[in-house]
Amino acid sequence: MKDDIKVIITLGFSAILTLVFVLVFVALSQLQELNRGMSTLVEETNAKMEAAHGMRDAIRLRANSLKSMQLLDDMFARDEQLMKFIDYSGKYRRAREQLVVLEMDERERDLHVRLTEMTRVAQPVNEYAVELLMSDAPGGEIEAAMEEASGHRTLLLRMLDELVALEKTNAARALEATNQHYMKTRHTVIILAVVALLFCVLIAVLVIRRASARNRKISYQASHDTLTGLLNRRAFEYELKSLVDAVQSSGGQHALLYLDLDQFKIVNDTCGHMAGDDLLRQLTSLLGDRLRKSDTIARLGGDEFGILLKDCPLAMAIKVGETLRGAVEDFRFSWEEKSFSLGASIGVVPVRQDSGGLTEALSTADMACLVAKQEGRNRVHVVDTEDHQIVRHRGEIEWVGRIKDALAHDRFQLHCQRVIPTASGAVECQHLEILIRMLDPDGSLIMPGAFIPAAERYDLMSSVDKWVFRHAIGWLERQHLYIQPLKLMVNLSGQSLCDEHFLPFVLETLEDSRVAAQHICFEITETAAIANLAKAKQFIDTLRSRGCEFALDDFGSGMSSFSYLKDLPVDYLKIDGAFVKDMIDDPIDCAMVKSINEIGHVMGKKTIAEFVENDAILDRLKELGVDYAQGFGIARPQPLEQFATGVARSVKACTALKRRDTDRALNTCDQNT
């Protein structure tokens, strides 16, 4: 009996334990599913909200860029602004692609289809507005285009607001379902506690605590930076938006600081990312110790920090910025017996009723920080939303997009200017300097002075030079039947001399064409040649061995040392036009022209005078013995195709005249016979 009782007790106890384990397993499985569902929900919701906000911010920033382009006159300022306009288009596209890959319900898909259609309609309108702004179109036409672009933008923003609202609604519904799941799991845990008494209660408490800790961890990770423990960008933007909304409704004085570390990359490159991470953690503590409890600091990404100073006048915010900058400057970071000093560039922006919304405040603060860096780094730049320096920096890279677009769509045009010999007699070879113009989408010509500086500044000259050479060779190959002999003088930039791919490109282009290298003369500026003397000499030697000739352009405008000419085997010296144009009235300029010409001849080089604007200058050049002349007084630049057409007509006319003369002679001979 006792044995039976023991068996029953044992079986009952085993059954209870089995039930407990089953219930525990069920509870843990459900909680695990709950946690997994919450994690997935947080990740998907964050991704969708981030994509929607990214698309909306990109549209607003594009609008700011477009408006800035309308207000700016400076070409470099427009240059930067256009690049930002293009960059924001890329941000919009990437955000939209991020949204597309996520699982969407029917309403989200429908809204995405409408957004795609509206984007397709709005894009040409925006591009048209940009084209009008860049082509100096009439103000009324620009205003109409801007108004139309604004209308499409408003519709897009409404749809994006609708998308954000929809995502919030979906998140709320999903959270509600999760809460219901959580309640069901909680009931299971309660049943477990009743069946397994204290043991089951203990299991339930442990499971609930674990689930709560997991939920808190997920919530914390969604709003904090994992490295520094500070708020992340999303949480900071939420705090900033709340502050901006409060200011709009009730006023107040607050400030936004945008801090970017100087020399941080040196630590990463020298000691590795572990050192960089440790540095960021130390600086987080350093900065936090100098802020009030009411202030908010966040890591916005990389080595950038955002700081919100609540109830802080601008003057006090400037002092706080200087305090933070000084703390970073005085800080010394040590890693494996190496010591580093840093700096901090800080942009300070007031947050008040006229400061605009979240996007405007962040954008202005970011630009203020950029200005601080460009003014020398390790300084505080205080700026308002209408600061002229901010406007200028937003438009500096406008030309980059236009140049790349012109290269992609062949919207350049070759022009030429004749270079004539000064001595009388038969012309053995006709020289033409090749020039470039950009074609605006409306067909108007843009002179090189407008876009060449931007191309040089943003490393696009090598691509432009390749376009010029390729099309010049193609033109010469098509026209050789009419124009012989002929030598094209093609300008090269210093960037092309330093580009390791440019020389092989020239050699390959010549090899693939029917044009002899003797028909090409490359012009290199004196400054570029001296700055890259070794590469220039290698470039010249290689192509001269193939038959090309070289001219040293603008000679006299740079270092003007005749000694280095011994190391540069050029065939021509082009005397800088600054000396030539005034040589009749200025004896010093005349002496410079004479000196360059004589020494050039002693070195076995031919000379070319630029800026020959009248017959008096030409006659004086003949007296001095200058070999060639070029300028408006001889021939103005003209489209290369137009030049070819004129020469072809002249050749045909001469041929017809000779044929008529031959026919007359034959008729006379027949009559005499």
pLDDT in tens, 243-253: 988 888 888 88
pLDDT of residue 17: 63
Residue 369: name the closest of 359, 361, 360, 379 by CA.
379
Residue 573 banded pLDDT, cuts 50, 70, 90: very high
For residues 568 and 556, give the distance between their C-alpha atoms in angstroms, rounded to a whole number.
15
pLDDT of residue 482: 47
pLDDT of residue 561: 57
Segment 31-52 shows an average pLDDT of 72
- Decide: helix, strand or coil at residue 332: strand
Distance, C-alpha 347 to centroid of its chain: 21
Instruction: Write out the H or E segment, with its range, that includes residue 333.
Output: strand 332-335
Read off the pLDDT of residues 414-430 as tens digits, 9 standing for 90 and up. Answer: 999 999 999 876 566 78
The secondary structure of residue 498, as a DSSP letter, is H
Segment 95-102 shows an average pLDDT of 75
More confident call, 665 vs 537:
537
pLDDT of residue 295: 93
CA-based angle 523:524:529, to the nearest 5? 160
pLDDT of residue 542: 94
Least confident span in 9-13, 107-111, 113-117:
9-13
Read off the pLDDT of residues 51-96 as tens digits, 9 standing for 90 and up. Answer: 777 777 877 777 777 777 777 777 677 777 778 777 877 787 787 7
Tokens of 641: 């195709």
Read off the pLDDT of residues 365-377 as tens digits, 9 standing for 90 and up. Answer: 888 888 888 788 8
Residue 189 banded pLDDT, cuts 50, 70, 90: low
Q: Could you identify the residue written with the tokens 């210093």?
A: 494
Domains of the chain plus CATH, in order, are 2-223 (1.20.120.1730), 233-394 (3.30.70.270), 401-570+637-653 (3.20.20.450)
Tokens of 435: 């020039």
Residue 665 banded pLDDT, cuts 50, 70, 90: very low
CA distances from 444 to 131, 447, 450 (A): 12, 10, 13
- DSSP string for residues in 265-288: HHHHHHH-HHHHHHHHHHHHHHHH
Read off the pLDDT of residues 118-173 as tens digits, 9 standing for 90 and up. Answer: 777 777 877 777 777 777 677 777 777 777 777 777 777 777 777 777 777 877 77
CA distances from 554 to 125, 535, 593 (A): 44, 19, 12
Q: Other C-beta atoms within 10 Å of 546: how many?
A: 14
* pLDDT at residue 645 greater than cutoff 70: yes
Read off the pLDDT of residues 349-359 as tens digits, 9 standing for 90 and up. Answer: 998 877 777 88
Segment 102-116 shows an average pLDDT of 78
Contact 502, 465 (CB under 8 A): yes
The secondary structure of residue 517, as a DSSP letter, is G
pLDDT of residue 668: 45
Share of residues in the chain with pLDDT > 90 (%)? 34
Determine the straight-line distance between the first and last CA of the chain, rounded to whole angstroms: 160
Read off the pLDDT of residues 522-552 as tens digits, 9 standing for 90 and up. Answer: 999 877 777 777 888 899 999 999 999 999 8
For residues 122 and 156, give the distance between their C-alpha atoms in angstroms, rounded to a whole number.
8
DSSP β-ladder status, 486-492 and 520-525: parallel
pLDDT of residue 2: 43
Instruction: Write out the H or E segment, with its range, that includes residue 112.
Output: helix 106-134
Distance, C-alpha 45 to centroid of its chain: 30
Read off the pLDDT of residues 317-366 as tens digits, 9 standing for 90 and up. Answer: 999 999 999 999 999 999 988 889 899 999 999 988 777 778 888 888 88
pLDDT of residue 4: 45
Mean pLDDT of the chain: 80
Radius of gyration of the chain (CA): 37
DSSP β-ladder status, 549-555 and 486-492: unpaired
Residue 673 banded pLDDT, cuts 50, 70, 90: very low
* pLDDT at residue 670 greater than cutoff 50: no
